[in-house]
């Protein structure tokens, strides 16, 4: 490590935050500072600055709210963008679109239509605020396009009885684990892989 004055880390053994000052690590607290985003920590550990930074919005951020305030989230995204481009001015900052398909109606426990509507709003916010910024090294990659409502989720055939004839037993395909598209994560990565392959310069 090559720490400089003002660097902060968390010491798991002592359960304390530490700040580096004049050649030693000293106790400090979270409340002492105003926090933001920085990639300067990479130099402490001599880690190569990445050429790509991929930001993925999770469902839990917005799926339960049909009247969200995206302002604070957009500010944080712009802070991430500025921090990344500070250490790599020619890097690629990628915002992947959030999934707008959280499964089909035959699932265990989720209000799918509600979530679909909420996540469409989140995707629209990304498009409205971060499109056409390629000259500023900011790109949107439509990963949401790859999530299949019918086949990207865990499916199980559940037995169901006939309402008028109990001797008749049929099955119905029910999804579980929603809104996590466990069977679709590999497909979700295809647009990202294609973007990286298209833009990389080392081949």
Query: What are the pLDDT digits (tens) for 1-28?
Result: 678 888 888 999 999 999 999 999 999 9
Domain definitions of the chain by residue range: 1-35, 48-199
Kindly report the average pLDDT of the chain as a whole number.
Answer: 86
Q: Can you tell me the distance from the alpha carbon of 140 to that of 128, in angstroms, rounded to the nearest whole number?
A: 11
Strands 8-11 and 16-21: antiparallel
- Specify whether the CB–CB gap between 146 and 191 falls below 8 A: yes
Q: Please write the tens of the pLDDT for every residue from 93-121.
A: 999 998 888 777 777 767 788 888 888 99
Strands lying side by side in the sheet with 52-56: 52-56, 92-96, 138-141
pLDDT at 91: 95
Read off the pTM. Answer: 0.78
- H/E segment holding residue 8: strand 8-11
pLDDT confidence of 35, banded at 50, 70, 90? confident
The three-class DSSP label of residue 114 is helix
């Amino acid at each position: 490590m090559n720490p400089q004055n003002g660097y902060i880390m968390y010491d798991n053994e002592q359960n304390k935050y530490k700040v580096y000052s004049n050649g030693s690590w000293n106790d400090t607290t979270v409340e002492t500072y105003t926090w933001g985003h920085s990639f300067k920590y990479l130099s402490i550990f001599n880690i190569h600055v990445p050429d790509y930074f991929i930001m993925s919005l999770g469902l839990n951020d917005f799926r339960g709210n049909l009247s969200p305030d995206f302002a604070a989230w957009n500010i944080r995204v712009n802070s991430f963008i500025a921090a990344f481009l500070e250490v790599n001015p020619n890097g690629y900052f990628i915002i992947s679109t959030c999934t707008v398909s959280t499964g089909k109606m035959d699932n265990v426990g989720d209000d799918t239509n509600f979530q679909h509507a909420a996540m469409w709003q989140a995707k629209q916010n990304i498009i409205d605020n971060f499109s056409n910024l390629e000259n500023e090294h900011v790109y949107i990659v439509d990963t949401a396009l790859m999530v299949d409502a019918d086949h990207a989720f865990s499916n199980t055939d559940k037995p169901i009885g006939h309402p008028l004839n109990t001797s008749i037993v049929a099955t119905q395909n029910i999804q579980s684990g929603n809104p996590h598209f466990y069977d679709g994560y590999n497909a979700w990565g295809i647009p990202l892989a294609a973007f990286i392959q298209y833009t990389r310069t080392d081949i």
